Amino acid sequence: MILLISPEQTSTTEIQTLHKLFEAGLEHFHFRKPEATLEAHCAYLDQVDPQYYQYIMTHNFHHELTSEFPIKGIHLEERKWRAQGDALATYVQFFTDKEFAVSSSYHEPEDLAAQSVDFAYHLLSPVFAAISKSDMKGRGFDVRHIPKFIAGMGGINAQTTPEAIKLGFQGVGALGGVWSAPDPVKAFTEMQTAFAKSSLRDSRPEGE
């Protein structure tokens, strides 16, 4: 599983590039525009080919988009799921009952391991030093002991993907590793290749 988070600010070429990424095999796109209005979110999605809505997860800001567009589901960043308190399970079930996927973010593996609510998958960051945030240091989380589907975020690109797989991550998530590359589509396809090779190697019995 490779997921891609959108840049916070939308460039004039972003939608065109996004379509090329979908064509290249992107199936998990996290639509995160924290400063954008609901109207701006809708205008963005109106420019996306509807065949790709099934691959889009919207973040905290406008979960009501699920009533307007047949997207994949919603993502709860850490402050959002913490704010729900005892109502978290009910909030998640509201969406899962409508067949939307719900994922969540964490910054401490202990919090992720202790989470009692069932999510489709979990993001844990920062695994490595972030590419899009120069002040974010990597922590090299090893999650092989946590029996949950976890995608590693922070400093992920084709070069660091194999190491993330070794640390037990079943998925990887990128932002700067793709969008900041000279050719985002090439950066993504290189990640695909690295992920496929590393996952195959990691699944082999020892000694092979």
pLDDT above 80 (res 74): yes
The pLDDT of residue 156: 95
Q: What is the mean pLDDT of the chain?
A: 93
pLDDT above 60 (res 203): no
Mean pLDDT, residues 107-126 taken together: 97
Percent of the chain at pLDDT > 70 equals 93
Q: Between 138 and 23, name the one with better pLDDT.
A: 23
Q: Which two tokens stand for residue 186?
A: 């090439």
Torsion-angle region of residue 100: left (phi > 0), alpha (psi -120 to 50) or beta?
beta
The pLDDT of residue 201: 63
Q: Between 206 and 134, name the one with better pLDDT.
A: 134
| 48, 18 contact by CB (below 8 A) | yes
pLDDT tens for 61-73 read 789 999 999 999 9
pLDDT above 80 (res 23): yes
Cα–Cα distance measured from residue 148 to residue 119, given in angstroms and rounded to the nearest whole number:
9
Mean pLDDT, residues 18-47 taken together: 97
Q: Which amino acid is at 155?
A: G
Mean pLDDT, residues 108-115 taken together: 97
pLDDT band of 204, cuts 50, 70, 90: very low
The pLDDT of residue 207: 42
The structure's pTM equals 0.92
CB count within 10 Å of CB 207 equals 4
Q: Which amino acid is at 150?
A: I
The pLDDT of residue 97: 97
pLDDT tens for 129-167 read 877 666 667 889 999 999 999 999 999 999 999 999 999
